[in-house]
Amino acid sequence: MPELPEMEHYRSQLSPLLCGQKITGVTVNRAASINEPIDEFTAALVNRIVLFVERRGKNLLFHLDDGHRLLLHLMLGGWLAYGEEGPKKDSHFQVILTFGDGLSLYFGGLRLGYLHRITAKAAIEQLKELGPDPYDARLTLEAFQKRLGQKKGKLKTTLTDQRFLAGIGNCYSDEICFHAKLHPAIAANTLDATATERLYHSIRHVLTEAKEAGGYMEHPLTAEDTLTGGYNNLCKVYDRMDEACYECGTPIKFETLTGRKMFFCPQCQKDS
């Protein structure tokens, strides 16, 4: 599932492409991906202008000039493409938005994911449970310490809890724990001050590194996009079961933690 770095990479690429563009065409191939009857959704979107693109956690919000938002969550397997025509046949995409310049934004893999047209008020309501963005300036070390101290769950479970922090999922929680040299199954509220500070800095370090490398999505957004997927070869533990740890050579261990995949180095990552 795309996480903060992937969605932020989409946002930074889409902003200059879409801002100020008028929607001139809407194709919906899967009604369940949207939240209105197809004709209503289409009629409401045609002639609207995209003002800007915002990211909240793993969500993208396309702000429209009538005050509405298009709320996108890609969930598992969703992806985006932009250009003259999709890399596959158009029918493979659940929703396609065409703009005044003749180029289109393609929404693929929206089986569990969705693109909902909602009011500004509904968007606030729908996202109100989300915790702070890891880059939020108000999330100081002190504020982070306080939040973490209140969590009773395991570290990985806490990091992937969208109410704790918005945007971290399975891959980056493992990478963050490895970078902070902390076992992902440690109880979150038992970290001492040094470990908490390490974790705080590791969160931003890993997410920034991933963002700058283009995240781990497989499909490039445009024909010119050569950055997407750059983080695939930079993962230190995620999806590296039995491969040697880059730090110590110990085979990376794979376990499940309340249904989630968990990759870690049993040597580098301490229980306490």
Burial-class residue 102 by CB neighbours within 10 Å (0-12, 13-18, 19+).
Answer: exposed
Query: Of 18 and 268, which has the nearer Cβ to Zn ion?
Result: 268
Active site residue 220: no
SS3 82: strand
Q: Which stretch binds Zn ion (CB under 5 A): 87-95, 167-175, 227-235, 247-255?
A: 247-255
Confirm or reject binding of residue 265 to Zn ion (CB under 5 A). yes
Active site residue 2: yes
Q: Which of 248, 258, 271, 272 binds Zn ion (CB under 5 A)?
A: 248
Query: Of 164 and 263, which has the nearer Cβ to Zn ion?
Result: 263
CA Rg, the chain, in Å? 20
CB of 238 to Zn ion, least distance (A): 14
CB of 254 to Zn ion, least distance (A): 14
CA-wise closest residue to 199 among 183, 180, 218? 180
Q: Which stretch binds Zn ion (CB under 5 A): 49-57, 177-185, 213-221, 246-254?
A: 246-254
Dihedrals phi, psi of 155, to nearest 5 degrees: -60, -50
Contact between residue 172 and residue 3 where contact means Cβ atoms under 8 Å apart: yes
Query: Of 135 and 254, which has the nearer Cβ to Zn ion?
Result: 254
Burial 197-228 (b: 16+ CB within 10 A, else e): ebbbebbeebbeebbebbbbbebbbbeebeeb
Confirm or reject binding of residue 245 to Zn ion (CB under 5 A). yes
Active site residue 58: yes
Query: Of 222 and 267, which has the nearer Cβ to Zn ion?
Result: 267
Give, as one character, the DSSP assignment of residue 140: -
Which residues form the catalytic set?
2-3, 58, 260
Chain contacts with Zn ion (rule: CB under 5 A): 245, 247-248, 250, 265, 267-268
